[in-house]
Amino acid sequence: MSILTVQNVSFSYHTVQEEVQALRNLSFSVEEGEFVGIIGPSCCGKTTVLNLLSGLFTPTEGEILLRNAPIRKSASRIGLMPQRDQLFAWRTIEKNVCLGLELLRENTPERKEYAIGLLRKYGLGDFIKKHPSELSGGMRQRAALIRTLVIQPDLLLLDEPFSALDFQTRLSVCDDVYKIIRQEKKTAILVSHDINESISLCDKIIVLSKRPATVKEEIPVEISRELTPLQKREDKRFNQYFKKIWSLLEDTNDCGTSKISKKE
Amino acid sequence: MTAEHRKFLKKNRARKIALHLSRILLLFVFIGGWELISYLEIIDPFIISSPSAVVKVIGRLYQSQQLISHVSASLWETVAGFLIATVLGTVIAVLLWFNTFLRDVLEPYLITLNSLPKIALGPIIIVWFGTGKTAIIFMSVLICIIITVIGMLSGFCNVDTEKIMLMRSLKGNKFTVMIKLVFSANIPTLLSVLKINVGLSWVGSIIGEYLSSREGLGYLIVYGSQVFQLDLVMASTVLLCFLAGGMYAVVSLLEKIIRKKFS
């Protein structure tokens, strides 16, 4: 059953110099419990897709349905995990992960207990009263994911969440995040430009064309979900997927331009 | 603890002690040198006064019960100007952060007011507010407020947009973004502004007293120079150093407490 449906979505943004079409007739769907990757060339409109999916932008045309309701009016929740952990330096880890609860006015003792339970479950029990500066990069990223999970979102949006980490930490945090999302049975969308990361994490990869972005191809990743991202990298099909996605991106690796009008 | 680490700690402690001793030594050399130059009349003591003369003048002011009234007058004007400018300037910065149109409208005026030498407005302020404390406090506020607005607003606008996006995705409105993120993230900016305002508020109140006052350290400096009592000018300047330093120390203490609470 589809949890998210993106139907013929187009989006344009305006500057004083020009109107730029970022997306054109973008359509795809995401099933409940699925981990979907969105990958595309630089400046193809990945961030625009993310802003639309998180309800911060409204499509110029088309619609986005979350559990069959328009995303901006939907009672369903979306959790966003940004590129950097964006933990607030002046808050303790406990207060950081409860930020969403405060904003949604759901800061009840039960929900707080749930948040603390998640911190303990995923190895941050000793750091509840610490500040972010006292945690390693990987721990901070885990705390950021828990902050997203605490609001019990229907859909998780991951915006290149490992890009700020060094390679070794990245591999280990990638495993952690995958494990947490699978254990909590969440539906997630990963927006990334990293092909390896997308294959190792996702059940399906949507390759976008250059701007104005549209779906170039949807590639199901048929490597067992039971394997960790690191184990998936050792699967013989991993390289085939990589080559396929790379060839699709090769045609589109420049910043496409799609100026609708230009001011004289 | 390894021997290497013990050696490092010892070296670090020695540096700290040397630093404090050097500071005290520098002060003694300055005071001693000043007294000596004056005593040996290398430079005319009438022009440069001397530390002993300064102490005598302060003692005389204290005995005649003028010291407390002059010091408290200046201190009151400065602290009032400092607090009003900081609070009002921060409130204006918050309003301008909320309303980008208003911010764009006011931007050239803020820049112009910032570049304007505020002392030029002195005569107008005296006409408007008379020659009392109100005019002096207004001068102090005027000198501090623009820099407070510009400093705070710049801090507010530099908050990471990804953090704002995160809060908006959690259904945070502009008010909660300001309270929970923008203002909290700018506590260090506020502390910097407070430190800058310590100096500026003293500039404002002393200039105000130069222009129109019957009491305060600024008044004593102007009076002393008019009747050629350089001892009085120097004594007032020394008192001013102590008061400004004390106020800076209070702000630094506040900074320590806040930083401990927020980080």
The whole-number pLDDT of residue B262 equals 64
The whole-number pLDDT of residue A210 equals 86
Superfamily of domain A1-76+155-161+187-264: P-loop containing nucleotide triphosphate hydrolases (3.40.50.300)
Distance from CA of A100 to the nearest CA of B (A): 6
* Domain chopping of chain A, boundaries: 1-76+155-161+187-264
**C-alpha to C-alpha distance for A44 and A22, rounded to whole angstroms:** 7
Distance from CA of B243 to the nearest CA of A (A): 32
- For range B237-258, the mean pLDDT: 94
The tens digit of pLDDT for each residue in A197-223 reads: 999 999 999 999 888 889 999 999 999
The whole-number pLDDT of residue A262 equals 41
Q: Is the peptide bond before A212 cis (omega within 30 degrees of 0)?
A: yes
The whole-number pLDDT of residue B263 equals 59
CB B54 within 8 A of CB B234: yes
The whole-number pLDDT of residue A264 equals 35
Give the Cβ contact number of residue A257 at 10 Å.
12
- For range B98-125, the mean pLDDT: 92
Binary contact (B181, A78; C-beta < 8 A): no
Q: pLDDT tier at A249 (50, 70, 90 boundaries)?
A: confident
DSSP state of A233: T
- For range A67-90, the mean pLDDT: 86
Q: At what angle do helices B217-226 and B230-262 cross, to 10 degrees?
A: 160
B-interface mutation test, from A90, A92, A149, A151, most B Cβ less than 10 A away: A90
Average pLDDT, chain B: 93
Q: What's the start-to-end Cα distance of chain B, in Å? A: 28
A102 touches chain B (CB under 8 A): yes
B-interface mutation test, from A48, A73, A88, A96, most B Cβ less than 10 A away: A88
The whole-number pLDDT of residue A219 equals 94
Report the complex ipTM: 0.81
The whole-number pLDDT of residue A252 equals 61
Burial of B233 (0-12, 13-18, 19+ CB in 10 A): buried
The angle at the Cα of A86, spanning A83 to A92, to the nearest 5 degrees, equals 150
Q: Which two tokens stand for residue A229?
A: 């991202």
DSSP state of B118: G
How many A/B residue pairs have CB atoms within 8 Å?
51
Binary contact (A90, B171; C-beta < 8 A): no
Sequence-distant (6+) residues with CB within 8 A of B112 are none
One-letter identity of residue B9: L
Binary contact (B185, A88; C-beta < 8 A): yes
State the Cα torsion A189-A195-A201-A204 to the nearest 10°.
60
Q: What is the DSSP string of A113-164?
A: HHHHHHHHHTT-GGGTTS-GGGS-HHHHHHHHHHHHHHT--SEEEEESTTTT
The whole-number pLDDT of residue A263 equals 39
Check pLDDT > 90 for residue B261.
no
A-interface mutation test, from B165, B168, B170, most A Cβ less than 10 A away: B170
Query: What does CATH list as the number for B51-262?
Result: 1.10.3720.10
Closest CB to A99 among B168, B170, B263: B170
B166 touches chain A (CB under 8 A): yes
What are the backbone angles phi and psi of residue A74, rounded to the nearest 5°? -65, 140
Q: How large a percentage of chain A has pLDDT more than 90?
A: 48
Distance from CA of B255 to the nearest CA of A (A): 14
- For range B65-76, the mean pLDDT: 94
**C-alpha to C-alpha distance for A202 and A188, rounded to whole angstroms:** 9
**C-alpha to C-alpha distance for A20 and B263, rounded to whole angstroms:** 42
The whole-number pLDDT of residue A6 equals 93
**pTM higher than 0.90 for the full model?**
no
Locate tokens 């986005």: which residue? A64
The whole-number pLDDT of residue A77 equals 86
